Amino acid sequence: MRVAELMQKDVKAVRPDVSVADVIASLADAHVSGVPVVDRHGQMLGVISSGDVMTQEAEAEDTEARTTLLESTMAQDIMTPHPLTIDPDTDVREAAREMLYAEVHRLFVVEHGKLVGVISTSDIVRAVATGKL
């Protein structure tokens, strides 16, 4: 089975110049723990997760610093650049190995340099549980 058969195609992404507050809203609206950061051409620049946001909030010294973080800090300032990506034609078992060894819960699926989907550990577990894999 190929990644393209299990990946989620409707991926919520954010632009690098959106505020952290907007990133949090995107995470909540999409019910996901991480979103890709893409340029206007759909090229992946990075990934920002709820963990990234929580780390930044924990490091903020006071309420004013947290407010600045939410309103004035942009996604590009706290994103993890160069996220792990995978090709849609890759075998799902290889995707699972990559997630396991990299200790990540998702891989963004990129074709010809553009974001086309995301595959997560949940997608793979669901496929195993339903007998698809």
Q: What is the pLDDT of residues 24-39, one digit of tens each?
A: 999 999 899 899 999 9
**133: pLDDT strictly greater than 90:** no
Q: How confident is the model at residue 16 (pLDDT cuts 50, 70, 90)?
A: very high
**Residue range(s) defining the domain that contains residue 78:** 3-129
Q: How confident is the model at residue 98 (pLDDT cuts 50, 70, 90)?
A: very high
Which CATH number goes with the domain that contains 21?
A: 3.10.580.10
> Tell me, what's the pLDDT at 66?
82
> Tell me, what's the pLDDT at 127?
94
**Maximum pairwise Cα distance, the chain:** 51
Number of domains in the chain: 1
> Tell me, what's the pLDDT at 101?
96
Strands across the sheet containing 34-38: 34-38, 44-49, 80-81
Half-sphere exposure of 43 (CA within 13 A, CB side): 7
pTM of the model: 0.84
**57: pLDDT strictly greater than 90:** no
Q: Detail the DSSP E strand segments found in the chain.
A: 34-38, 44-49, 80-81, 85-86, 106-111, 114-120
The mean of the pLDDT values for the chain is 92
> Tell me, what's the pLDDT at 27?
93
Quote the CA–CA distance of 108 and 122 in Å, as a whole number.
14
